[in-house]
Structure 1
Amino acid sequence: MVHPSAPTNASPPNDPPAQVTTAASQPERRATFSDVLADREYRGILCAGALSWLGDYLAKAAVTALVFDQTRSAGAAAATFAISFAPWLLLGPLLSAVADRYPYRNVMIVSDVARMVLIALVAVPGLPLPVLIGLLFLTALGNPPYDSARSALLSQVFSGDRLVLGISLNLSLNQTAQIVGYLAGGVLAALSPRLALGLDAATFAVSALVLWTMVAHRPAVNARSTRRNLVRETGDGFAIVFGTAALRGIAVLVFTSMLFAIVPEGLAVVWAHHLEPNGDPAEVGFNQGLIMLASPVGYVLGGLLVGRLIAPETRRRLIRPLALVAALSLVPALADPPLFTVCVMAAVCGFCIAGMMPAANGLFVQALPNQYRARAFGVMQTGVQLLQGASVLVTGMLANHWPLHQVIGLWSVAGVVLILVALSAWPAADLFTAAIERARRLNEAPVAG
């Protein structure tokens, strides 16, 4: 699930100062879908992202099937699926720092072209398994700079409530692409995995073309004369996120939420078998699919409904309550509920996470200086990926020794406690105002050569 975009980044230097007062006091006009979709550049970014996401999910299903067909090894298939997360865990912040050195549109286009070539090579018949996995790893290296640059570019195109609604649409489209991609990928994997890989390569090509024709060129936010050692620049990303009270408060809440939000999707196959221990394999598989889809469906609804129907100031006030309800929504697992209730629980959790995330993103954006855009996204996304993977791994191991419904229920109770701790450390309004004002001053300062 949560390709839940971690908080995106800063506002362009010419953003109006009114954006600062928006977060603090003045009511802000609610943006509409027509407002954001009327922007040609945003449509280009949205279309390119949708193509990349759809191709990625198609390829994940296809490559996993291809490797399993060749090896009959569940471990090899699992490793193939997991390899796409490895760059975020190993090199995510460093690759995101690279994205801040160059024009964001160029970073995205180069990433698309490189992934197009590499995924086309994966489709070549007869590749040894180590070569295939190596190519997949190289392909996945394009994800951190692409995602970080897209996040930063979006905040150059929009500000204020249009940015928040644009993020909501992005997140909802991501989840829709996940649903369609996995379903189509499963079908194509049974027919021709290499056809799915060819389609993935084509999506990268079209994405690059869309970006080239629909998104304007902008210079890099960090001039060559201001660059430092890449490792130090990466460290600056961590420093700005965790050294600024407002950003740290948002980061801690987002990271804590990720510890439980992914669990229904990640353990769907185990939960389906738990509900029907002696059931027909086809029925168990269908139940697994329902549990996996429930969270993305809730996510899509939450992103669209909260983003469109609730006023900006109210959305910001709902960040903390929605985070708490998201954790509480999975606690009823302790009662070992039936399939329908499990799906409702997962959907409610996804709805709440999608409802809080864009508003948190928008607040994060306002308090972040321009030059840290991609690096801050890299820090956030790396944390999200790491915590999601760890939560599924730990709860899966616990489920080997205790009933699954107890594991998920108690894990969610622990999540409620952690959310309450994170909320107790939520910064005061004046700290957000100070951080936003500081970012505005830095953003308006002239950039050296």
Structure 2
Amino acid sequence: MSETGRAGAHERGRWAAPLRVPEFRAILAAHGISLLGGAVAQVALGVLVYTGTGSPLLTALVFAVGLLPSLLTATLVSAVADRFPPRRVLVGCQLVSGVVVAALAVPGLPAAGALLLVFVLGAAGSVFVGVRAAVLPEVLSAEVFPLGRGLLRVVANALQILGYLLGGAVLAVFSPATALLVDAAAFAVAALLLRRTADRPPAVGRAVGVLRRSWSGVRESLRDRRLRALLALLWLPPACAVVPEAVAVVYAAENGIGTAGLGLLLTGTLVGAVLGELAVGRWPGDSARLVTPMLLLVALPLLGFLARPGVVVAALLLVASGAGLGCAIGVDRLLLAAVAPELRGRVLAMATTLPIAAQGLAIAAAGALAEVLPAHLVVAAAGVPVLLVLGTVGGRAAAVR
């Protein structure tokens, strides 16, 4: 690691520490540009598919299909960072994403072809975030690593909000096809930024297959009770916290909430997640000690929806629940301490991609429940699994300290 990275290690709990590492700044900038381009592309493609087909289902699938590859990459290709030079993979994923987005702008593209390309786009993005997570401990010291991971999440949440807003503004000026071509250029810029990262060799030789090594990493992680507990604490809370977003439209309709209030419901958890990560990152003590109380903060506000609150109280509850997701910084610290070096890259890839897949599954489950239950009960029910996982695995996770 560079001397700059080591110098940042003593500044525990301060957000400036990872930003002092030039390689991390390049990764963060590429991360931000590709996320913003991806969010705008998603909005543009949704409009393009809906205007071309008139199908709400196909339009919804545009948003859902991109999440599906995360489950596959978490289990079957988590060893990509071990098997191939990480920089080439990171740059390649951005270039593939740019080509796919440009292809989506082709006039007259069939809906089935568009969904297939969206799946490829999601796969490239999933591999990218997995490899980036695996290489991050080589970029940042052990003390600064949780802050680096937290900063990537903060940027992701903030840009998701901005991307949706910017997507609407861009489409007010440009056609969806033009917006997609601009987004393709953004991925190319991100690839150029990633060329500035170190050219590290792969951890294993060509004789080792990606699928076999990835699956062995899954098996070894599941055999270790501590790793099982920590991975559960990383994927389940975000999955439960996204449920209010999944049923926000239904909740608004059932409670007479207008479009302005719907916006508050859709962004409340994201705003809270940004605030929670920033607060934990500034915490002067051991962030791992905050895991239990912040998991409670995720769950308890969701139970408050049993009272079927109005829009202001509901939005505040969602901000509070989202703030509890700042527990991930403490869990990241525990995870890095618990995982063996030879397993680290694969575990960190799973820890990054599994939450994305879990959120996609949670959105689908919430939509199914909302068919038979009022939306406020669906939101309240989302708090229960967090309390259960805290009671069953929280003690094992704490034992890592």
TM-score (norm 1): 0.82
Q: Distance in 2 between matches of 1:222 and 1:58?
A: 37
| 1:13-24 paired onto structure 2 within 5 Å | none
Q: Report deviation, 1:163.
A: 1.3
| 1:290-329 paired onto structure 2 within 5 Å | 290-308=264-282, 310-313=283-286, 315-329=287-301
Q: Report deviation, 1:29.
A: 5.1
Q: 1:139 to 1:413 in 2, by over 3 A?
A: closer
| 1:84-99 paired onto structure 2 within 5 Å | 84-99=66-81
The C-alpha deviation readout for 1:142-184, integer Å capped at 9, x for no partner, is 1122111111222111123211221221111111110111111
RCO comparison, higher one (Cα < 8 Å, 6+)? 1
The equivalent position to 2:209 in structure 1, one of 229, 238, 244, is: 229
Q: 1:194 to 1:370 in 2, by over 3 A?
A: farther
Q: Is the 8 A contact 2:133 2:349 kept in 1?
A: no
Q: Distance in 1 between matches of 2:121 and 2:393?
A: 36
Moved more, 237-246 or 115-124: 237-246
Partner of 1:76: 58
Amino acid at match of 1:112: Q
Q: Distance in 2 between matches of 1:296 and 1:316?
A: 22
Amino acid at match of 1:321: P
Q: Distance in 2 between matches of 1:299 and 1:124?
A: 37
The equivalent position to 2:158 in structure 1, one of 176, 179, 187, is: 176
Partner of 2:169: 187
Q: Distance in 1 between matches of 2:13 and 2:260?
A: 39
Partner of 1:130: 112
Q: Report deviation, 1:296.
A: 1.1
Q: Distance in 1 between matches of 2:259 and 2:321?
A: 22
Q: Is the 8 A contact 1:96 1:148 kept in 2?
A: yes
The C-alpha deviation readout for 1:102-146, integer Å capped at 9, x for no partner, is 121111001111111121111121222222222222222211221
Moved more, 287-296 or 126-135: 126-135
The C-alpha deviation readout for 1:357-389, integer Å capped at 9, x for no partner, is 022112212322344344223433453234322
Confirm or deny that 1:217 pairs with 2:188: no
Moved more, 108-117 or 194-203: 194-203
Partner of 2:221: 241
Q: Is the 8 A contact 1:100 1:371 kept in 2?
A: no
Amino acid at match of 1:323: L
Same amino acid, percent of matched pairs: 32
The C-alpha deviation readout for 1:284-320, integer Å capped at 9, x for no partner, is 2222211111111111111112102x1242x111112
Q: Is the 8 A contact 1:269 1:285 kept in 2?
A: no
Q: Residue 161 of structure 1: SS of its match in structure 2?
A: coil
Q: Is the 8 A contact 2:80 2:131 kept in 1?
A: no
Q: Distance in 1 between matches of 2:337 and 2:199?
A: 23
| 1:135-284 paired onto structure 2 within 5 Å | 135-191=117-173, 192-212=175-195, 214-224=196-206, 227-276=207-256, 284=258
Q: Is the 8 A contact 1:240 1:376 kept in 2?
A: no
Q: 1:91 to 1:317 in 2, by over 3 A?
A: closer
Q: Distance in 1 between matches of 2:269 and 2:276?
A: 10
Q: Residue 96 of structure 1: SS of its match in structure 2?
A: coil
Confirm or deny that 1:116 pairs with 2:89: no
Q: Residue 126 of structure 1: SS of its match in structure 2?
A: coil
Moved more, 138-147 or 383-392: 383-392
Aligned residues: 396
Q: Residue 68 of structure 2: SS of its match in structure 1?
A: helix
Q: Residue 83 of structure 2: SS of its match in structure 1?
A: coil
The C-alpha deviation readout for 1:185-225, integer Å capped at 9, x for no partner, is 1233354211221121111101111111x31211112233x
Report which of the two structures shows the higher radius of gyration computed on alpha carbons: 1
Partner of 1:443: none
Q: Distance in 1 between matches of 2:94 and 2:221?
A: 28
Amino acid at match of 2:280: V
Amino acid at match of 2:248: A
The alignment's C-alpha RMSD in Å is 2.3
Q: Is the 8 A contact 2:247 2:370 kept in 1?
A: no
Amino acid at match of 1:84: G
Amino acid at match of 1:64: G
Q: Is the 8 A contact 2:134 2:346 kept in 1?
A: no
Amino acid at match of 2:104: V
Q: Distance in 2 between matches of 1:89 and 1:166?
A: 23
Q: Is the 8 A contact 2:38 2:183 kept in 1?
A: yes
TM-score (norm 2): 0.92
Amino acid at match of 1:41: E
Q: Distance in 1 between matches of 2:354 and 2:68?
A: 13
Q: Distance in 2 between matches of 1:215 and 1:168?
A: 20
Structure 2 unaligned segments of length 5 or more: list them. none
Q: Distance in 2 between matches of 1:370 and 1:160?
A: 12
Moved more, 355-364 or 368-377: 368-377
The equivalent position to 2:37 in structure 1, one of 39, 44, 55, is: 55
Q: Report deviation, 1:46.
A: 0.4
Q: Distance in 1 between matches of 2:15 and 2:264?
A: 29
Confirm or deny that 1:345 pairs with 2:317: yes
The C-alpha deviation readout for 1:28-66, integer Å capped at 9, x for no partner, is 752433332121111101001001111111111110110
Q: Distance in 2 between matches of 1:162 and 1:143?
A: 24
